[in-house]
Structure 1
Amino acid sequence: MDLLFARWRPWICLIAATLGGALVPLSMAPYSLWPAGIIGLFFIAIALRNSTPKRALFLAFAAGLALFGVGVSWVHVAIAQFGNSSQSIALTLTALFITGLAAVFAAPFYLYGRYLSRSLFGQTLGFAALWVAGEWLRSWLFTGFPWLYVGYGQINTPLSNFAPIFGIFGVSLATCLIAASILWLREHYRTHTSHGAPALALGGIILLYGAGLALAQVSWTQAKPHKISIGLMQPNIPQEHKWEPSYYSQTLDTFSELSEPLWELDWVIWPEAAIPYPYHQAAPLLDQIDQYSKTLGTVFITGIIYDDYEAYKYYNAIIARGAGSGEYFKQRLVPFGEYVPFEEQLRGIIAFFNLPTSIIHIGPFNKAGLNANGVLIAAAICYEIVYPDLIAEISRDKDVILTISNDAWFGYSNGPLQHFEMARMRAIETGRYVIRATNNGVSGFISPKGDVIKHGGRFTREAIVGEVQRMKGTTPFMVWQSWPMALTCFFIIFCCVVHQRYNKFDE
């Protein structure tokens, strides 16, 4: 029996790693099966035990393919439907994207096989710390793709209450430690050794959930008096018509119709690149809206493409007019969607590298942000809301967070729902209301605790009206951001490496 198991063990480990990778995204939107994330981590951890460096790298790569294959294969929609690409090219580019992400995900696990895989501490604590260190790496490497962090799957559990202190990586680490504790229990009962008493593992799980429940009672920020009434325009402009000159008047008519009954609210907000003209071409329209808003005391906020004639550049921007003022220019651009990496080499090869919006530049940073009749707004455009440290930094001295987006690129896929879930986590991390205005959904209002106050539908033409409050105070995460968690993970890894040198055990 032992010989038979040894023969089949590589395949069992491969299946476990792949299944584990596929389970992790099921803990996130739209499925929200939070136990799936913990079970998936457990399967991956158990598959990697006692692995050589090459074997750990291979198994982690298989897990990464499943993780991103299930979790972000929706990029195919944008490439196939709006990238003017054939199905074969779209599938090839999607496969290359997923493979690249899986390679970045797997790379740290080579170190796991070399320094951590043969001690129980390395297989549990070391695995948890290395997983989170890998998530942190993906937040900035090659400009970053901070998606599918395992902590997002716990947004509806007590573990999310670690976010105001340690951010999403703290929630991820807590999730990984629970999976590690389950592995520790399994090893104790499998080997009947004294490695990690059950009381320690169970105590760790109880402590993490107990601390999360206790932190739920803590309010790191406080609401200021006076509620702000806001109308969000969700026009549902078809992406294929958005930049067609013949459709411009219809677009503006839609906004006018949706906005008409709402101008007496405090704020009226249009989504990303709502106005289908560059800023200077739209000046007459903006002046008209500006004057009308001022007479009513209303703040008008919209996304627009800002054309800088002197620098020959275009910026993705948010502007405030009427009773508001200020501009914000996007700082984190979407590769291929807003700019083309290695542009000189790639432009013209296939139509996907020539998208009409892939001419955007990073704009000048305006620390002041937007001022809405005295309310200071931390603005984020689309993709930027998924960067935890960026949002923590720009919202530190602001009252609310506003993010505008256009997720029509991704159709009815899971991408927009994951995007909205990540906006919820930014609200928890910062203790701020988050207002999200999109072209086609999901638009809505999120409380400082991450609860969805009100939201619209998907691919619906509607105005969503809600209220938010200014928040004062600062969460710990806004002060120190992700560095403490990153350093903690590296310290745990170091301790586990030292421990393995003197305490190894084999199956």
Structure 2
Amino acid sequence: MLQANNFKQILVGVLLFPLLSGLLMLLGWPPNRMFLLLFVGLVPLFFSVDLLKNSGGKRAYLLFFIGQFIAHLLWVAVSMKWLASTSPQSYVTGIIIESTVLALALTPTMWFAKHWRKNARFFFFAAAWMSVEYLNQHWMFGTPYFALGSGFGMHPSWVQHYEFIGIEGGSLWVLGVNYLTYRAIVCFQQRSGWFKATSIAFVALVFPMLVSWFIYNAETSGEVKRVAVLHAFVKPNQQEFTDFPEHMTAQLFRNSLAALKTESELIVWPEVIVNNLGWLSNITQEKAFVSVYKALEKYPNTTVCTGGYGFSVAPRELHDDPYTSFDSTYNYYYLTHNIALSISYGERAPIRSKSVFVPFQERIPMLKEFPFMENLADMVGSNSKISYYPNGVEIHKTKSGWFYAPILCYESIFPLEMARKANDAELISISANEYWNTDLSGSEQYLYNNVLMAIQSRTPIAKSSNSGASGIIDKKGTILQKRVGRDTGILIQDVALKDRSTLYTSLAGSFYFIAILTFVLGAGFALFQFFKRFTSQ
């Protein structure tokens, strides 16, 4: 094994190996098609551990942290370059927080490399990585955009086994194959047991893919329904549509006529495309609702699901809340909500509030405790003070009686939440607003991420976007139709609804639970031993 006994080797361990890792992960990540690189992209980091563990006492921990930070920063910074041009402050803040948190969590790996058997470092490394993925789905500064298992949306035929393990299990799969590949290389260097080690790594990679290929080519079952999504290119927040939201809904309705005439049972419109749905307590009397409701009288079998901003009167205890707005003309306090509204003629109109907000765009984290956080928000067309509306309905129903989960944009990249939503739904609708994004590579990444959400729950997805990427995805993750950017129009497709729950949806979060338990115990033990040695010296 290489030993870090000079500056050159330290430089390789803290800079060259991490840069190589970041480059491999970048080339393997969508929209690039070299997905197999994800299975070797972390291998240089394991060699980095070997080089740095003997670099000199406690310095090894700092050097390892720097290396992990560099590797992850390169990967996420270039992958998300599409965000930099439109929201530079959010971009810089996001990639630094993401890379710092992961590097900190991985740093105790060095202790296990120094003091335990070789495999212990992998178990801790994997547990730390998985724990950060879980954290990024639950804290206000994180995003699960770079969960390792989310990298295969362009190749759904190879990841059909996600119905058993989900995206979180896919992350563990990627981590495991990377480490097995590392071990195979080490055995080859040592000329000992390399054939066995290589065979194990090969089987770990190929066997799940073969199972997936057979599943992908099996016949699809399920009741077939016709759904449609509208792909729009409309500048949001125009004053005309704020004052006269019925003008917007009339335009959307005209653009959806082809779907209405073919008796589509569900039509999905983009997120916040109607920027004034009015008061949620009186939604059925508001202009936007009334205009759509009356138009659907001619199409009584169709349900329209649209996104929009709705409002509620703020209770007195929230008058001083920084997320509360004040109307000086009429002297009242109110809250703004990002809403999915389903409209069917002759039926009640369920609404659902967005519950996961884009940090610094839709909701500024901890604004009440730290008012200076508002300076980090560089909005790209959203309202940075969106609040959750508690009186909504999570699962909506079409006029013909089947159920769907109306998801709003950013929520759809959260694997655990999407798995839970799919439990009671036969289809997932996604309403998205990507008008602000001038680089469509980000929209493509987003759509490919949704592919894996469909596979892990065997639930078809109908995604409507304003300007980004719209598509209809079947239960196997095949993108049946899509439109991107200025290619506006209506997509109409017959899709098979979900007809069974998957093993994964009943076990969602299990891999993360085991990882977190392992990480907490391992990190606690490593820190205890580290400080014990430090104080004894």
> TM-score over 0.5 for the alignment?
yes
In structure 1, the residue matched to 2:109 is: 112
Q: Which moves more between the two structures, 198-207 or 421-430?
A: 198-207
- Paired with 2:17 and 2:189, the residues of 1 have a C-alpha distance of 18
Equivalent positions of 1:69-218 (< 5 A) are 69-79=77-87, 90=88, 94-116=91-113, 119-142=117-140, 144-155=142-153, 156=155, 160-193=159-192, 198-218=195-215
Deviation at 1:491, TM superposition (A): 4.4
Instruction: Look up the match of 2:474.
Output: 447
* Equivalent residue number for residue 86 of structure 1: none
1:354, distance to aligned residue in structure 2 (A): 10
Distance 1:351 1:61, change over 3 A: closer
**Is residue 396 from structure 1 mapped to residue 423 from structure 2 by the alignment?**
yes
Shift of 1:337: 1.2
- Contact 1:376–1:400 (CA under 8 A) maintained in structure 2: yes
- When the two structures are superposed, what TM-score results if normalisation uses the length of structure 1? 0.85
C-alpha deviations, 1:437-463, integer Å up to 9, x for none? Answer: 111131111111111111112232211
Q: Give distance in 1, aligned partners of 2:49 and 2:290.
A: 62
Give per-residue Cα distances to partners, 1:86-121, cap 9 Å, x unaligned: xxxx3x653333212110121111111122466431
The correspondence of residues 251-270 of structure 1 with structure 2, limited to 5 A, is: 251-252=248-249, 254-264=251-261, 265=263, 266-270=265-269
Question: Quick check: 2:228–2:462 contact (8 Å CA) kept in 1?
Answer: no
Structure 2: gaps of 5 or more residues: 54-59, 316-333, 530-537
Aligned partner of 2:388 in structure 1 is 362
For the residues of structure 2 that align with 1:135 and 1:211, how far apart are their CA atoms? 22
Whether 2:63 is the aligned partner of 1:55: answer yes
Q: Deviations over 1:1-50 (max 9, x none)?
A: x9998331122221120221233133222112102222321122222335
Q: Distance in 2 between matches of 1:396 and 1:254?
A: 34
In structure 1, C-alpha distance between the alignment counterparts of 2:495 and 2:157, rounded to whole Å: 24
Distance in 2 between residues matched to 1:485 and 1:169, nearest whole Å: 7
Is residue 161–residue 216 contact of structure 1 (8 Å, CA) maintained in 2? yes
Q: Which amino acid in 1 is paired with 2:161?
A: F
Aligned 1:230-245 pairs, distance under 5 A: 230-239=227-236, 241=238
Is the 1:336–1:358 contact (alpha carbons within 8 Å) kept by the matching residues of 2? yes
Change (3 A) 1:370 1:294: farther
CA-atom RMSD, angstroms? 3.3
Change (3 A) 1:150 1:348: closer
Q: Which residue of 1 aligns with 2:9?
A: 9
Code of the residue aligned with 2:385 in structure 1: it is I
| Alpha-carbon distance in structure 2 between the residues aligned to 1:393 and 1:405 | 20
Alpha carbons of structure 1 residues 69 and 205: separation in structure 2 relative to 1, 3 Å: same
What does residue 346 of structure 1 align with? 372
- Residue 34 of structure 1 is matched in structure 2 by 35
| Corresponding position: 1:302 with 2:306 | yes
Instruction: Give CA-to-partner distance per residue, 1:365-413, whole Å, 9 cap, x none.
Output: 6455211121111121001011111111122021111111011222124
Q: In the TM superposition, what is the alpha-carbon distance from 1:251 to its structure 2 partner?
A: 4.4
The answer for the alignment partner of 1:321 in structure 2 is 343
Query: What corresponds to 1:82 in structure 2?
Result: none
Contact 2:249 2:292 in 1 (8 A): no
Matched AA of 2:80: V
What is the CA–CA distance in structure 1 between the aligned matches of 2:26 and 2:355, rounded to whole Å? 27
Structure 1 unaligned spans of 5+: 80-89, 502-507
Structure-2 separation of matches of 1:429 and 1:385:
13
1:83 corresponds to which residue? none
Choose the corresponding residue for 2:355, options 315, 326, 331: 331
* Cα distance, 1:228 vs structure 2: 2.0
Give me the whole-angstrom Cα distance separating, in 2, the residues matched to 1:495 and 1:277: 51
Question: Structure 1 stretch 483-492 or stretch 260-269: which is displaced more?
Answer: 483-492
Pairwise CA distance, 1:262: 2.7
Question: 1:477 aligned to 2:474?
Answer: no
Amino acid corresponding to residue 132 of structure 2 in structure 1? G
Name the stretch that deviates more: 362-371 or 299-308.
362-371
Query: Is 2:27 the counterpart of 1:23?
Result: no
Give the stretch that moved more between structures: 362-371 or 447-456. Answer: 362-371
Q: Deviations over 1:479-499 (max 9, x none)?
A: 121223440575499799999
Give the whole-Å Cα distance in 2 for the aligned partners of 1:125 and 1:243: 57
8 Å CA contact retained: 1:441, 1:460 = no
TM-score of the superposed pair, with normalisation by structure 2: 0.81
State the 1:178 CA deviation: 1.4
* CA separation of 1:100 and 1:333: change in aligned 2, threshold 3 A: same
**Percentage of identical aligned residues:** 16
Give 1:288's aligned amino acid.
S
Q: Does 1:429 align with 2:437?
A: no
After the TM superposition, which of the residue ranges 332-341 and 285-294 deviates more from structure 2?
285-294
1:142-190 CA-partner distances (Å, limit 9, x unpaired): 3631011222223416652332122112111111211111110111122
Residues 61-98 of structure 1 show CA distances to partners (whole Å, capped at 9, x for unaligned) of 1112112211223222332xxxxxxxxxx3x6533332
- Closer, same or farther: CA 158–322 of 1 in aligned 2, 3 Å: closer
Total equivalences in the alignment: 485
SS in 2 for 1:30: coil
Question: What SS class does the counterpart of residue 416 from structure 1 fall into?
Answer: helix
Aligned AA for 1:147?
Y
Indicate yes or no: 2:404 matched with 1:377.
yes
